[in-house]
A and B are shown apart, each in its own frame.
Chain A
């Protein structure tokens, strides 16, 4: 019995070794000291990118290269670092995959690109620009900079993003904004749905637009905003009592638009859809 167990264990180890040899996965770690306000670009055709802040003035990148069909080019010029995966002939989505785990000082500007992702960044106090085709994107606790996100159909989730200039474009990916506020928050979506849960704070301009995607906004009590909502062909409804406005941009169409203010109307919120539904609710 014991010898059978022993044989089984040895067999498993051999299989594991052969499997890892066959995939030829390689883990590489890179460390670069940087000064204040550094810039890091990670560009991979296939693979995940995850960025977190560190406590030292160092950029640490751990790359998992899934096969020898992918290589990494690195360049550094002063405070600017670029990591770019490039694929060799015959590479596909599996063999060409390179996953990145990145640790940066919190004041580092990020440019992240991956076709299939996922891509995530958290607790960064600098500009963040993300582009993914089908990649789901998650950005958490980022602020005091610009946040630009573009996807074709990847879902975009922003949480706890404050005092930021936010611009999001997605053709068919859903967009979730939880506690997002700033001088400008702009979302341009096609068929993707937009969900907003927050207070529309900071006295900013909020502009959500869709083609066929629905827009749902859940506002906190104490919100202070001036609302304009209009859908050309979709149903529009406000469950929040709004103070009427004197001057509207276009005539009121019940069921197609609503206007009004809550609180002191500090922020301006424009919700418009071509044929999607729009709903405003109170938390």
Chain B
């Protein structure tokens, strides 16, 4: 779909210098002299490197029509994450560096959406929230009841999350995987 670069949004996919990139950030910026711009941070989905670019806001660009397919997350090794399409049993892999930080909240066996373009997996569509069990946490120190006080806990995927001090080991919590923030108890 062709759009004005001024309408580009975070999460969309574009070709940049011949390679598929995902928009990490897109901000309107008008220097007041010269054309209004769309300042964009693009993540190259092959090299996983970010590049800063400034489009003219009225420049026509092609936003790729991608589909998302539900898949089961199987496992990971040092470099890749492996998924299976449960309807076709086809396996796909994605590089951890491309998917980024959110992989630390992925639990084996969970279902996720994988963005596809021309049958090629691009990256993960981040879930709104993930539910994970706390496996390690210190007990709140006595008297430490200041409102808003937080402590670090370890969840079952090994990631560390800051939670309110009253949350205990064994509880399941929901987390926004993109920000890594605790959003509530389940």
Bound together: no
Residues of A within 8 A of B (CB): none
Residues of B within 8 A of A (CB): none
